[in-house]
Chain A
Amino acid sequence: MATRTAAVPAAANAVRRRLEVPDRRPARMIVLLLIPVALLAVIGLGAILSASSVLAIREGVGNLYYFKRQAVWMGVGLVALVAASATPPRVLRRLAFPMFVGSVVLLVATLVIGTRAYGATRWLVAGPVTIQASEVAKLTTILFLATLVSRKETSMHRLRDFMWPVAVSVGLVGVLVVLQPDLGTALMVAFGSFAILLASAAPFRYILGGAMFGTGAAVVTALASPYRWARVTAFLDAGSDPLGGGYQVVQSLVALGTGGLWGVGLGASRARWSFLPNAHTDFIFSIIGEETGLAGSLMVVLLFVALTVAGTLIAFRARDRFGRLAAIGITTWLVAQALVNIGGVTGVLPITGVPLPFVSIGGSALLTEMAAVGILISIARDSAAGGRP
């Protein structure tokens, strides 16, 4: 079976091998993946510089403070990307379990000794760096679920074999992050897992059941905390109370509308002047849309579409089930997170507080996301190794 997982028509591969033409498709996939990632990261740096400078000056840390921090994290992330891309998928598969355990430990530690801010316990402080364990957990959970499902794929029609990997990975991490509380991360893990199951041989009825269970759990969690419920109602009727729960979304739409077709120009955002809270984190897309207009915001959308296509292609051409599931899980997580973020910013989805991948400020998130891209590259490279597995 493993020999047939490669999606490329066998005849074409055979021709290539005979003509001794090197297979350029993995390289093309990697380029298709790296171009949007690199551009998004650069756009992110620029947007952070603009969005955070007013805030940074007010805080008296110098207008480049947040920009520098993100640049440093980007350097660290680049190292992680290269390291991950150089690690073969089989090694990653073996590392998946210890990494998962490690991130669960971090999540528990966060709950116990984490730093509270804005009504949530999300950060572990270690000297000069703060670690957001939930960001790391997104990747490790998806990787771990990919190993579990790839191993049990043939027996997934048995409810027990379907249940326990999902329960262990998604369930455990979900509970730990919701306790912080960080519903957004739980949602992203759920999306990634949903994609893994959807791309696997698991029966639809189980997936549907799991999805319904997850949705139910999400609604209950939302109902259980007033602030989250306020976000949902604010989303349903944003204009009714522009200074209340819907304030952020209204200001975000104002920023996007102010940008119009071509934007107000780089560094000329008005929203960053304390109108739009979290302009450099969750609402960075509004600043991009304001400064560069519809042209710029559609460009970001196009980059994410390229990322979607590249990730799906890598999954499609992955040599084995682990690579395939890990690739689609990672891709779906990254892309869904972008969709949920931009959907929230544009007022079509409730605000969930997830950052825009590669763009929003946040060291742990950027590091994890770049490592994830490294893993996608590793999987893409593996698909070429030896032509057919």
Chain B
Amino acid sequence: MQPGSLRRLNARLVTVGVLLVVCWIAIGYRLVVVQALEADVYADQGRNQRLQRETLAADRGKIFDRDGRELAVTIDSVTVYANPREIEDPTTVARLLAPLLRMNMLDVLDALTTDGTFAYVARQIESAEADRVREARLPGIYFLTEPKRVYPMGDLAGQVIGFVRADDNVGLEGLEFQYEETLAGTPGELLVERDPYGRTIPQGEYEVVPAEPGSDLVLTIKTEIQFAAAEALERAIERTGAAGGSIVVVDPATGEILAMVNAPTFDPNDRSGADPVLFRNRAVTDAFEPGSTMKLVTISAALEAGIATPDTLYEIPRQLERGDTTFTDATNHPSELTVTGIVAHSSNLGTIMLGEELGARELHRVLYAFGLGQSTGLDFPGETAGLLRTPDDWCETTCIASTSIGYRVSVTTLQMAMVFATVANDGVWVQPHLVREIVDGRGARVPVDPLQRRVVDVGTARSMRAMLEEVVSGGTGAFAAVDGYRVGGKTGTTEKYLYDEQAYSEDDVVASFIGMAPIDDPRVVVAVVLDSPQRDASGGKGAAPVFSEVALAALHQLGVPPDGE
């Protein structure tokens, strides 16, 4: 080869090397673009595909009775789920799994054959049951722990406590609903980098805002009294054949509800077959016409207005004609009655005379002052205000008469209990409440401070109590007597108003008795209402004995010393 040719060959060789180096320069530039100039775009894209924001569920607060007994707690339950993609033979797996879960095999098969990678098979089952499934080691079947709300007292206070939605433990009814925000706490947040399989990348960003646990509720309910009331109500329904009933036990001095019972009831742990009507806390949500128990208000108003004293004597006619209605008395009594006698014998006519003497406006004022026609402000959802028409809407003929004796006005069992509690508390109405204290996650206790207002004079209240004692000792409420204690109260028997038919029932009544004990310094007020009793269908026969039972139990539980024979 010639020297020129060698130079040419060398040039060709160097060209190869230079070409390669030029390519490297291009690659280097590209790297500068990707890793410096446009790096943020790609880095953000990466962060977005890795960073996951997850909610950390807060522990839901517990609900205790006033003595610290658990009424609602959250436990860890096991949920069984399937990854259908990992199950090659769903039929066999379903056949093996169904008996372990005591489920229908076809339901299990449905879950195992859904699209996607996640399907619930059985939610919130007991751990013993889950262990049996675990031991079976079925492919594609997995477990996760889910919080489950349980109610250790079962149906005892189901309507008061309410319940939560199984999916997410959000309160749906009762106190669980009312105090949702307090109980729920604040969910935390987890910011974490995860790979496509959901594994945490240890070197990745990690940020935790821990969940704030919910606050606990300490109720005013005393489980023993609640239990006694529930038992007594159950027996009363059996005895009278009533369709249902409610009992409210309240501490008149504090407004604390010691027991609140409705029958029939339901178990919040298993409400699968329960009629949603049963979820209602009817002592608070349902109104009825109270009848004679309302005479307490009319007579109090008369005493307060100074138009009568307990000893004022009235000549009671045999009947009163108002419009086309004829009012009569249901009881036999002397033709002359003192005001005390009017109460003791539950004289409609005597009460009407006093009511009419007061006039519509004054009667309305006192009714309203006692808390009727307005919600009590109880810390409970769905409370009804009842019905109390303004005086402008009162007719000239029957209205004052009807209202005086507890018709044409509707109330809740709680409202009536609070009317009697006002008298028991020397004329001061204290707002009723179910939650005594809220205990936050750090143990700080916030006691509930209820509203109070004076309704009638101390003197009026004491006079009324004396009359109420007379009802039991020598009037319509004899069956309400409690051994060892001096008690007072008032019976009520009304024809049941049928809202559907816009008329009073000819067969069914609402029988009630509301009383207090001990009469000189009442510690409990017990309101008993029976819906449509078929036997002993009056306040005196149907409801008064229930009062006796419940009051005695409550007094014992509260350690109230006897004050009578």
Asked if B203 and A332 make an inter-chain contact with CB atoms under 8 angstroms apart, the answer reads no
Given contacts A198-B16, A265-B203, A348-B26, contact A301 B31 (CB under 8 A): yes
CB-defined contacts of A110 to chain B, threshold 8 Å: none
CB-defined contacts of A199 to chain B, threshold 8 Å: 9, 12-13, 16
The answer, yes or no, to whether A260 is at the interface (CB within 8 Å) is yes
Q: Which of A198, A254, A273, A298 contacts B15 (CB 8 A)?
A: A198
Asked if A260 and B39 make an inter-chain contact with CB atoms under 8 angstroms apart, the answer reads yes
The answer, yes or no, to whether A312 is at the interface (CB within 8 Å) is yes
The answer, yes or no, to whether B40 is at the interface (CB within 8 Å) is yes
Q: Which of A198, A253, A264, A336 contacts B203 (CB 8 A)?
A: A264
A238 to chain B, nearest CB (A): 12
Given contacts A261-B36, A294-B36, contact A328 B31 (CB under 8 A): no
The B1-48 residues at the A interface (CB cut-off 8 A) are 1, 3, 5-6, 9-10, 12-17, 20-21, 23-24, 26-28, 30-32, 34-36, 38-43, 45-47
CB-defined contacts of A375 to chain B, threshold 8 Å: none
Asked if A195 and B16 make an inter-chain contact with CB atoms under 8 angstroms apart, the answer reads yes
Assembly CA distance A7 to B6 (angstroms): 9
CB-defined contacts of B6 to chain A, threshold 8 Å: 4-5
Q: Is the interface of A mostly helix, strand, loop or mixed?
A: helix
Q: Contact flags (1/0) for A199-239 with B, using CB distance below 8 Å?
A: 11100000000000000000000000000000000000000
Q: Which of B1, B35, B38 contacts A261 (CB 8 A)?
A: B35
The answer, yes or no, to whether A171 is at the interface (CB within 8 Å) is no
CB-defined contacts of A347 to chain B, threshold 8 Å: 30, 34
Assembly CA distance A264 to B193 (angstroms): 14
Assembly CA distance A267 to B201 (angstroms): 11
Assembly CA distance A377 to B61 (angstroms): 77
The A319-357 residues at the B interface (CB cut-off 8 A) are 324, 328, 331-332, 335-336, 339, 342-343, 346-348
The answer, yes or no, to whether A304 is at the interface (CB within 8 Å) is yes
The answer, yes or no, to whether B197 is at the interface (CB within 8 Å) is yes
Smallest CB gap from A57: residue in B = B199
The answer, yes or no, to whether B204 is at the interface (CB within 8 Å) is yes
The answer, yes or no, to whether B123 is at the interface (CB within 8 Å) is no
The answer, yes or no, to whether B50 is at the interface (CB within 8 Å) is yes
Q: Which of A254, A294, A315 contacts B31 (CB 8 A)?
A: A294
CB-defined contacts of B443 to chain A, threshold 8 Å: none
Asked if B42 and A253 make an inter-chain contact with CB atoms under 8 angstroms apart, the answer reads yes
Q: Which of A254, A293, A305, A316 contacts B42 (CB 8 A)?
A: A254
Smallest CB gap from A340: residue in B = B23
Asked if A253 and B34 make an inter-chain contact with CB atoms under 8 angstroms apart, the answer reads yes
CB-defined contacts of B20 to chain A, threshold 8 Å: 308, 312, 331-332, 335-336, 339
Q: Contact flags (1/0) for B185-201 with A, using CB distance below 8 Å?
A: 00000000101110101
Assembly CA distance A265 to B196 (angstroms): 21
Asked if A316 and B204 make an inter-chain contact with CB atoms under 8 angstroms apart, the answer reads no
- The interface size of chain A toward B, counting residues with CB under 8 Å, comes to 56
Asked if A339 and B16 make an inter-chain contact with CB atoms under 8 angstroms apart, the answer reads no
Smallest CB gap from A329: residue in B = B16
CB-defined contacts of A260 to chain B, threshold 8 Å: 35-36, 39, 43
CB-defined contacts of A7 to chain B, threshold 8 Å: 10
Given contacts A1-B1, A301-B31, A348-B30, contact A257 B16 (CB under 8 A): no
The answer, yes or no, to whether B319 is at the interface (CB within 8 Å) is no
The A221-277 residues at the B interface (CB cut-off 8 A) are 250, 253-261, 264-265, 267-268, 270-271, 273-275
A194 to chain B, nearest CB (A): 9
Given contacts A7-B10, A270-B203, A274-B196, contact A301 B35 (CB under 8 A): no
Q: Which of A253, A271, A305, A316 contacts B24 (CB 8 A)?
A: A305
The answer, yes or no, to whether B145 is at the interface (CB within 8 Å) is no
CB-defined contacts of B21 to chain A, threshold 8 Å: 305, 308-309
CB-defined contacts of A132 to chain B, threshold 8 Å: none
Asked if A316 and B195 make an inter-chain contact with CB atoms under 8 angstroms apart, the answer reads no
Asked if B49 and A275 make an inter-chain contact with CB atoms under 8 angstroms apart, the answer reads yes
Assembly CA distance A268 to B24 (angstroms): 27
B204 to chain A, nearest CB (A): 6
Smallest CB gap from A264: residue in B = B203
The answer, yes or no, to whether A362 is at the interface (CB within 8 Å) is no
Given contacts A195-B16, A332-B16, A339-B24, contact A270 B46 (CB under 8 A): yes
Q: Which of A201, A257, A273, A274 contacts B34 (CB 8 A)?
A: A257
CB-defined contacts of B15 to chain A, threshold 8 Å: 198
B15 to chain A, nearest CB (A): 7
Asked if A312 and B14 make an inter-chain contact with CB atoms under 8 angstroms apart, the answer reads yes
Assembly CA distance A257 to B204 (angstroms): 16
CB-defined contacts of A270 to chain B, threshold 8 Å: 46, 50, 193, 201, 203-204
Asked if B5 and A201 make an inter-chain contact with CB atoms under 8 angstroms apart, the answer reads yes
A295 to chain B, nearest CB (A): 9
The answer, yes or no, to whether A36 is at the interface (CB within 8 Å) is no
The answer, yes or no, to whether A297 is at the interface (CB within 8 Å) is yes
Asked if B35 and A259 make an inter-chain contact with CB atoms under 8 angstroms apart, the answer reads yes
A151 to chain B, nearest CB (A): 14
Q: Which of A257, A265, A268 contacts B46 (CB 8 A)?
A: A257
Assembly CA distance A328 to B17 (angstroms): 8
The A147-187 residues at the B interface (CB cut-off 8 A) are 154
Q: Which of B1, B35, B45, B50 contacts A154 (CB 8 A)?
A: B1
The A288-317 residues at the B interface (CB cut-off 8 A) are 289, 293-294, 297-298, 301, 304-305, 308-309, 311-312, 315-316
CB-defined contacts of B196 to chain A, threshold 8 Å: 273-275
A323 to chain B, nearest CB (A): 12
A305 to chain B, nearest CB (A): 5
CB-defined contacts of B1 to chain A, threshold 8 Å: 1, 4, 154, 201
Asked if A256 and B17 make an inter-chain contact with CB atoms under 8 angstroms apart, the answer reads no
Smallest CB gap from A327: residue in B = B13
Which residue, of A195, A257, A315, has the highest number of chain B Cβ atoms within 10 A?
A: A257
Assembly CA distance A336 to B5 (angstroms): 27
Assembly CA distance A273 to B194 (angstroms): 8
CB-defined contacts of B28 to chain A, threshold 8 Å: 298, 301
CB-defined contacts of A261 to chain B, threshold 8 Å: 35-36, 39
CB-defined contacts of A301 to chain B, threshold 8 Å: 24, 27-28, 31
Assembly CA distance A250 to B44 (angstroms): 12
Q: Which of B35, B199, B201 contacts A297 (CB 8 A)?
A: B35
Q: List 18 A-B contacts (CB under 8 A).
A: A154-B1, A195-B16, A253-B42, A256-B31, A256-B35, A256-B39, A256-B42, A257-B42, A261-B35, A261-B36, A265-B203, A273-B196, A294-B36, A298-B31, A308-B20, A339-B27, A346-B31, A347-B34
- Point out residues on B near A: beta carbons under 8 Å: 1, 3, 5-6, 9-10, 12-17, 20-21, 23-24, 26-28, 30-32, 34-36, 38-43, 45-47, 49-50, 193, 195-197, 199, 201, 203-204
Other 18 A-B pairs with CB < 8 A, given A270-B203, A273-B196, A312-B17: A1-B1, A199-B16, A201-B5, A253-B34, A254-B42, A256-B34, A257-B39, A257-B43, A259-B35, A261-B35, A271-B46, A297-B35, A301-B28, A308-B20, A312-B20, A339-B24, A346-B30, A348-B26
